[in-house]
Amino acid sequence: MIKDVKDTLLDRRSVRRYEREALAPEDLEFIREAIRNTPTSYNGQQFSVIEVSDQGIKDELAEIVGQKQLKTAALDLCFLSDYNKIRVAAEAKGLKYPPFQDTTDGLMVGVIDASLALMSAVAAANSRGLGCCPIGYARTVNPARVSELLELPDGVFLVCALSIGIPREIPDLKPKQPADLLFFRDKYGVAAMPEKLLAYDREIIKYHETRSENKSGEDWIGQILSYYKEGLTYDMLAALKARGYGMES
């Protein structure tokens, strides 16, 4: 089944339960080609992807990260910011490598490239009727153990993983912020922003109360703030420095 662009983009939701079935080779090939054709900064292609299909490694990744999807998915894609390849290329050509990954912009470039590649994969997988879920916890929960498991070299870190499989569930679509909170006219801002945000918060509470599965009365604002609070405990700077990202400017 191949969906049209509208369904691919607008009927997308994160899918976290999968059939225990391998992906069709042509679907995997299409996902790979979509990833390869991702636009990247300078065409430097500051990213790589590790395809994890070995059940033992998927199990270990799921255990480290604490996300079951990584175990039950047919395939886990690990999207990496990668300055190892360009350094190897420079050395192979006898050129001096400027340590761009030690700058904040270098960090952002690697994250942007890897994230765009992830989105290419999400779109390609969805267009084939596959289900997928980005897993940011693969970056934050235990970067040292994940890097060791995947044998990441210096200059490479995992930005986000993506579990992909044949869907075993079709979760209700999550309501997103209304257009006027998202698209501003000419300059930043919209009238009555607090009221509009509170209205969206009520919409999410209603969605959580009435969705087909995992019902709860959880709000949006409180939930996001509690994620941020958890985020305050991550020492990403130390994790990045351990991966060879110096961030000196």
Query: Min. distance of Cβ 60 from ligand FMN in angstroms?
Result: 17
Rounded CA gap, 230 and 82, in Å?
27
Give the number of residues written for the chain: 249
CB 168 within 8 A of CB 18: yes
Letters for 51-70 (x = contact with ligand FMN by CB under 6 A, - = none) are ----------------x---
Residue 103, Ramachandran bin (φ over 0: left; ψ between -120 and 50: alpha; else beta): beta
Q: What's the angle, vertex CA 73, arms to CA 129 and CA 66, rounded to 5?
A: 135
Residues 124-183 that bind ligand FMN (CB under 6 A): 133-137, 160, 174
Q: What are phi and psi of 27, to 5 degrees?
A: -70, -45
131-135 and 75-82 as β-strands: parallel, antiparallel, unpaired? unpaired
Query: Min. distance of Cβ 166 from ligand FMN in angstroms?
Result: 17
Query: Min. distance of Cβ 105 from ligand FMN in angstroms?
Result: 20
Residue 75 sits in the site that holds ligand FMN (CB under 6 A): no
Which CB, 136 or 167, lies closer to ligand FMN? 136
Letters for 8-37 (x = contact with ligand FMN by CB under 6 A, - = none) are -----xx-x---------------------
Query: Which parts of this chain interact with ligand FMN (CB under 6 A)?
Result: 13-14, 16, 67, 133-137, 160, 174
